[in-house]
Amino acid sequence: MKLELNRIGTTTRDDLSRVAADLRGIGFEVDEGKGFEKSADVLAGLGVVVWLVVDQSAREFISLGLGYLLDKVLGLSRKYGATKVNIRFRAGGEDGTELNLSIRSDEPDAMKTTQGIVRDLAEVGMVSALAKMPDGEKLAYLSLDLATSIYCRTRGPSGQFYFYDTKTRRWKPGKVKKQ
């Protein structure tokens, strides 16, 4: 499986190279980004693109790579203070669909919750879920600020929120619950 890594904020190339080497040791094909992602909230961290081909590739990454990345982000937080990891699960190539999530080291409960939600989605088929997004949407999100499930929003001023139900394996319309 192919991964792409990028630095966020003040993370150094050495930080990135160590993570890339470790992920290669686990068995992933890893490309290191040449630049870095700007961080709106001025946090250091890592940006990761996970290229998914089949549902099994998502399960593989969740079981082998996700826990390692989260541990690495916690390790970086000792050096830089609060850090984060932005993960993009991409299916269907460059023009395919994508699930975006961002996890911060200063929210350990959110890290655990996010890991569980992503694991549940991978178990029922992440690539399949992304392929079935409503109304031709291409981006899904996981933000615990809005909901404790994967969601997308159709375009336009009257766009509808859809949430992925892992039990029925369908996108269902719904409303954002205020936290």
pLDDT tens digits, one per residue of 156-176: 777 889 999 999 999 999 887
Distance (Å, whole) CA 15 – CA 38: 16
Does residue 97 form part of some domain? yes
pLDDT per residue as tens digits for the range 49-70: 999 999 998 999 999 899 898 8
Does residue 74 form part of some domain? yes
Please state the pTM of the whole predicted model.
Answer: 0.88
Q: Which residues contact 143 (CB under 8 A, 6 or more apart)?
A: 101, 102, 151
Does residue 113 form part of some domain? yes
Tell me the pLDDT band of 43, cut-offs 50, 70 and 90.
Answer: confident
Counting residues of the chain whose pLDDT is more than 90, the rounded percentage is 42
Does residue 179 form part of some domain? no
Q: Which residues contact 63 (CB under 8 A, 6 or more apart)?
A: none
User: Domain count of the chain?
Assistant: 1
Does residue 125 form part of some domain? yes
Does residue 150 form part of some domain? yes
**CB-count burial class (<10 Å; 0-12, 13-18, 19+) for 122:** buried
Does residue 152 form part of some domain? yes
Scanning 102-146, the segments in alpha helix (DSSP H) are 108-124, 126-131
Residue 77 has pLDDT above 60, yes or no: yes
Does residue 80 form part of some domain? yes
* Strand partners for 142: 101
Range of the domain at 60: 2-174
